[in-house]
Every structure is written in C-alpha cells, then in structure tokens.
Amino acid sequence: MSAATGAHTGTAPPDPHLEAPEARLETVTFGPDKPLRLDSGENLSPVTLAYNTYGELNADKSNAVLICHALTMDQHVANAHPQTGKPGWWLRMVGPGRTIDTDRFFVICPNVIGGCQGSSGPTETNPATGKPYGLDFPVITIADMVRAQAMLLDHLGIETLFCAIGGSMGGMQVLEWASAYPERVFSAIPMATAARHSAQNIAFHEVGRQAIMADPDWHGGTYLDHGTRPTKGLAVARMAAHITYLSETALFRKFDRNLQDRDTLTYDFGAPDFQIESYLRHQGMTFVDRFDANSYLYITRAMDYFDLAAVHGGVLANAFKGTKTRFCVVSFTSDWHYPTAYNKQIVHALIAAGANVSFVEIETDKGHDAFLLDEPVMDDTLAGFIASAARQRGLT
C-alpha cells in the first residue's frame, strides 16, 4: 500500500515532476498534564505526534482537511519521504489545484500513535526505563489514534474539520472521528474500508504477526536493545499482506506467469522464476527499510480490534445517531481486502442513522490499492463531493 505499489504494478506512479506542495514537518509533545486516555484503561504520557501540514489555515479556521493514513503509510502524504526520497504517497491527490487543493485547504496528516515516523510508538523511548518501549508500549486502538489526533486539533486551535478523509485504516479513523466527534467533522470520506475487521482480515494480520515473532532477531520485541531488527520476518509479513492489496485480475494483467529475466524455468531454488516472486521479494525488502516490526504488530492489532458496532450496543447505526456530517463512502469492485459489501454495511448504517450519505462503487481491476492509484472516476467523485461540501461550508 505504498506509492511504490503503483510503480511496480505498472499503474502510473506519482509523477516525480508533479509539484510537491510546501510541507511543514511538525512535532508536538503533550506532557504529564495531558495524558492520552487509552481504551485499554492505561494512560499514555508523554504523547508525541509527528504531523505534516500543507496550505494555510484560513481566518475562521474552517478549511482544515485531516488525512488519515493507512497501516504502512505515514505523515508524508505529499512531500518526498525523508528516509526513502520517494514522492508522497498521495501526491496525485494533494497539492495546488489538485483534488485536495493546498491552495484552498489547510491539510494536516499526522503519523498515527503506534507508528514509527516520530509519533509515540514502540520504537520511542520509554521514559520509565530510558530504553525503547518495545512491547512495553501499551496496546492501542483506532479510537486511541483518533483521540490523540483530537488533542492535536485542540493544539492547533481547530474546532471543526472541514473534511476527514482516508482509505483502508485511514477510513477506519474517519469513521471513528465521525462517530466520536460528530460536531467536529463537517464532511467525511471513508474509502475502501470496514467498520469491523473480519475473520479473514484478522487471519492475514495474524500470519504477519507470527512471521515477525518467529524471527529470532525479534527477541521478544526487544530487538533495538540487541542491535538487531527482524527484517526477514517483517518482509514475509509484508509479502503476505501485499497480496491482499491487489486483485487476482491485476496480478494476472501485470505478471501472469511471466518469467524473471530469462526464457526458461530455472529448476532451482536460488533465484526467482516468476516476475511475481521477484516483485513480492522486492516489496518485502524495501518495506523493512522504512517500517518497524513492533509498529506493525501494534497497528495490525489496532485494526483487528476495530469493531465500531460492538462499542455501540452491536448496532452500527448507533455509532452515527443524529450525525450532521456529510459522508461520501467509496469502494472498489475488485477490492477483496475490504470489499464493497463491507463498505455497504457502513452506508446502510449511515442511512439508518438518517445521515447525509453518498456512496460510489468504482469499477476497477486494481484491488484494494486502487484508492492510491490513478482512478479518474474516484478523482471526479471526490472533487464533486468536496466542491459541494465546500459550498455548504461557505468556503469559496
């Protein structure tokens, strides 16, 4: 689920010549006076949020757009990644004159707590020990991520978001935002997401976690103290997950049974025979350069715990009772990770709650990752919804 995905599956990657909006890379730390209350019952303190902003906040602070990132993404939504140098993961969507127009909106993208790009997470120093948290970091939830983001908005003096938008785990955060802080979300765009993680979703995540924990370099989560990193296990986790982000049709279209750099089968285990093998290995190898294994455990666990109906008496519509937020739910026909059926459950609940909701299922063979890729119908859909919401919000 990286910008690199597009590059490797042959879909147009962000044009490296596409102008990146000016990014402000910020960090805020909330001290002992502002602990983060967690769903587990624990308090997290201090709490640091690393976040990027683009564009300018207007005088009445009504033009803020919050972008919530997916499992393996981060706050570098529209600027070159400081570690990899790659273009921002949604550069095609965010910038001057683009769908999320940085000439009009003040765009905020925070790294989730539990992440590994500067926000509080298992790689950060545990003040109680002076060593990296590792598994001493408390287990967090999607609601905890959102609660931390609400503290960030308070810090920025923003009462109400013009829009909260995100795909995949980003969509979960958008749903949680609209549910927990309905008066703070004028419009919401959850994309390619789910209101509850299914048994199959959990199963794939569990495979990834077991792959990481099986790596002896994981050392029970204390690998940073040992000067190692469980890169092999994390790469296997990434490979397994990555298959779920692409459709069977897209894999056929891009790779089929094409051989890697040769005309015949190798009859050997030394080198990959098929391009799809080589592609997956590359995905695994490059992922470990920019992501932390314990963060992968924490964030997948947060997603697995997500069940918005369960915390509202088992009825999803209750999560949105009386909402005035305008919703636009987007799904993709070939997404089998969070299929249209999961997104429709959200739409049905919103309708039952009397919400203002648009729903668009976009015809594509690109699978779950379609929300990151070149999908003109998606662009048109979002542009239309945002324009309409902006008019209603009095943003001209």
Residues 326-385 that bind a copy of itself (CB under 8 A): 336
Amino acid 227 reads G
Contact between 199 and a copy of itself by CB under 8 A: the answer reads: yes
* Binds a copy of itself by CB under 8 A, chosen from 276, 288, 353, 378: 276
Question: Residue from 197, 229, 326, 368 that binds a copy of itself (CB under 8 A)?
Answer: 197
What's the closest the beta carbon of residue 171 comes to a copy of itself, in angstroms? 18
**Which DSSP state fits 20?**
P
Residues 6+ positions from 319 with CB-CB distance below 8 Å: 175, 179, 195, 308, 309, 311, 312, 349, 353
Q: In residues, how long is the chain?
A: 396
DSSP letter (8 states) at residue 50: E
Interaction of residue 301 with a copy of itself, rule CB under 8 A: yes
| Pair 92, 18: CB distance under 8 Å | yes
- Residue 229 makes contact with a copy of itself by CB under 8 A: no
Residue 54 or 298: the one with the smaller Cβ distance to a copy of itself is 298
215 annotated ligand-binding residue: no
Nearer to a copy of itself, 164 or 239 (CB): 239
Question: Residue from 23, 153, 280, 372 that binds a copy of itself (CB under 8 A)?
Answer: 280
Site string for a copy of itself, 148-177 (x = CB under 8 A): ------------------------------
Distance CA 214, CA 210 (A): 6
Instruction: State which of residues 18, 80, 151, 251 lies at the interface with a copy of itself (CB under 8 A).
Output: 251
Q: Which of 214, 271, 315, 387 binds a copy of itself (CB under 8 A)?
A: 214
- Which residue among 87, 95, 190, 272 contacts a copy of itself (CB under 8 A)? 272
Provide, rounded to whole angstroms, the least separation between the CB of residue 141 and a copy of itself: 9
379 has binding-site annotation: no
**How does 20-59 read in b/e, with b if 16+ C-beta sit within 10 Å?**
bbebeebeeebeeeeebebbeeeebbebbbbbbbbbebee
Verify whether residue 168 is a known catalytic residue: yes
273 flagged as catalytic: no
Alpha-carbon span 216 to 195, nearest angstrom: 35
Strands 161-167 and 64-67: parallel
Of 62, 120, 168, 278, the catalytic one is 168
From start to end of the chain, where are the E strands?
A: 24-30, 36-37, 43-44, 47-54, 64-67, 94-95, 100-101, 106-110, 125-126, 131-132, 161-167, 185-191, 326-332, 356-362
Residue 36 to residue 24: CA distance in whole angstroms: 24
- Amino acid, single-letter form, for residue 298: Y
Q: Distance between CA atoms of 245 and 92, rounded to whole angstroms?
A: 19
Q: 26 by DSSP, 3-state: which? A: strand
Contact pick of 15, 19, 206, 363 for a copy of itself (by CB under 8 A): 206
Q: Which of 76, 119, 335, 337 is catalytic?
A: 335
Q: What share of the chain is helix, strand, coil (3-state, %, to 5)?
A: 40, 15, 45
- The binder of a copy of itself chosen from 268, 376, 394, 396 (CB under 8 A): 268
Output 283 or 381, the one with its CB closest to a copy of itself.
Answer: 283
Scanning 90-98, 160-168, 301-309, 350-358 for contacts with a copy of itself by CB under 8 A, the matching segment is 301-309
For residues 94 and 54, the answer to whether their CB atoms sit within 8 Å is yes
Residue 256 known to be catalytic: no
Residues that bind a copy of itself (CB under 8 A): 39-42, 135, 138-139, 196-200, 202-204, 206-207, 209-211, 214-216, 221, 232-233, 235-236, 239-240, 243, 248, 251-252, 254-257, 265-269, 272-274, 276-277, 280-281, 284, 297, 301, 304-305, 307, 310, 336
Instruction: Indicate which residues carry an active-site annotation.
Output: 168, 335, 368
Binding residues: 238, 369
